[in-house]
Chain A
Amino acid sequence: MDLQFQFESIAGFWQMAGHGPYVWACYGLTFTCLGLLFLAPLRRRRALFEQLRRQQRIAEYEQPSKPQSAA
């Protein structure tokens, strides 16, 4: 199969004989949504790690006095 670029210019590629806005809107929206889905778990993971790190620091800070205060 020989692959050939179907458009004569970049402007033609952009306009797609009048269908450009529809096609590009679909692709733009789809890749934006997929990108957001990809970032969401990474962000959640980072937030969780920061929260746990903070707790660990607090625990380390309180550790020396813990035996007495626990009683």
Chain B
Amino acid sequence: MNWQWFHRLGSPRWFYEKTNAWVPWLAVISISLLVVGAAWGLGFAPADFKQGNSYRIIYIHVPASFLALAGYYVMAISGAVGLIWKMKLADMVMKSAAPIGATLTFLALITGAVWGKPTWGTWWVWDARITSMLVLLFLYLGVMALQSAYQHQDTANKASAILSLVGMVNIPIIYKSVDWWFTLHQPATLKLTSESTIHASMLYPLLLMIVAFYMFFALLLLMRTRTEILEREKKTKWVNALVQADNR
């Protein structure tokens, strides 16, 4: 098997140059999908017969929650790769994923609370799903804190990788919480194995928003990682050449 690509991935410069062309494309596609999806969800999807218009929050609440979890996978897996293979790029991805994931978790919690007020009549309940999402937010914040707590970047990376791996136990709890403890949060609407409990006219904009959030997440992660690369390699010739070429 040819492992050359894997070794190349260890080179931040190679990654930076390889992804140059991706950024504008990802930006254009993901931002237009976000705009179209939001307009569709806000104005064109029918109102819910039980919840009325408040359900329109679903079009950001669900994608934000998906990406809060996906971001955690990215962070924990790249943390593990950095820990095992000492790959610099993986450490940078882990560091970049934390603030994006934290923001999306925060958005999932806030939009859920704002949705809860007109729907359940309360902002906040110590329901299993909501509590485990709050734990997820603290895990993200913990990784961010560890990243700035150490003088040596290597120590910081090791500590945050271990924390994010230990925090993985929270992930199945989040998924299963709505089935194990049926309290307030409704069970999953989208299912892979059986028919979804949502009408197509509401489902399509939701799927569109989920794709849009995934792509926007990829864009943000890429932009952050690329900036991180420049920052860590700022003493090298190629970054200084880049600065000279950029003279405005």
Q: Which residues of A contact B (CB under 8 A)?
A: 1, 3-7, 13, 16-20, 22-23, 25-27, 29-31, 33-34, 37-38, 40-42, 44-45, 48-49, 51-53, 56
Cβ B201 vs Cβ A1 within 8 A? yes
Say if the beta carbon of B60 comes within 8 Å of chain A: yes
Q: Which residue on A lies nearest to B247, using beta carbons?
A: A53
| Stretch of B72-80, B133-141, B190-198, B223-231 contacting A (4+ beta carbons < 8 Å) | B223-231
Say if the beta carbon of B111 comes within 8 Å of chain A: yes
* Candidates A3, A6, A42; contact of B47 at CB < 8 Å: A6
Instruction: Give the Cβ gap from B63 to chain A, nearest Cβ, in Å.
Output: 9
Q: Which residues of B contact A (CB under 8 A)?
A: 34, 38, 40, 42-47, 52-54, 56-57, 60-61, 64, 99-100, 103, 106-107, 110-111, 114-115, 117-118, 200-201, 204, 216, 219-220, 223-224, 226-227, 230-231, 234, 239-240, 243-244, 246-247
* Candidates A3, A22, A26, A52; contact of B243 at CB < 8 Å: A52
Q: Can you show 25 pairs from A to B with CB atoms below 8 A apart? A: A1-B204, A3-B44, A13-B42, A16-B52, A16-B54, A18-B52, A18-B118, A19-B118, A20-B53, A22-B118, A23-B56, A26-B61, A26-B115, A29-B107, A30-B60, A31-B38, A37-B99, A37-B103, A41-B224, A44-B227, A45-B226, A45-B230, A48-B231, A48-B234, A53-B247
* Chain A residue contacts of B231, Cβ below 8 A: 44, 48
Q: Which residue on B lies nearest to A36, using beta carbons?
A: B103
Q: Which residue on A lies nearest to B204, using beta carbons?
A: A1
Q: Which residue on A lies nearest to B27, using beta carbons?
A: A38
Q: Which 3 pairs, one residue from A and one from B, show the smallest C-beta to C-beta distance?
A: A16-B53, A19-B53, A41-B223
Q: Which residue on A lies nearest to B222, using beta carbons?
A: A41
Cβ A6 vs Cβ B44 within 8 A? yes
Instruction: Give the Cβ gap from B55 to chain A, nearest Cβ, in Å.
Output: 9
Cβ A29 vs Cβ B110 within 8 A? yes
In the complex, A8 Cα to B111 Cα: how many Å? Answer: 26
Cβ A7 vs Cβ B43 within 8 A? yes
* Chain A residue contacts of B220, Cβ below 8 A: 37-38, 41
Instruction: Give the Cβ gap from A50 to chain B, nearest Cβ, in Å.
Output: 9
Further pairs besides A6-B44, A33-B106, A34-B34: 20, Cβ < 8 Å: A1-B204, A4-B44, A16-B52, A16-B56, A19-B56, A22-B54, A22-B114, A22-B115, A22-B118, A23-B42, A26-B57, A26-B60, A37-B100, A37-B220, A38-B220, A40-B224, A41-B226, A49-B246, A53-B247, A56-B240
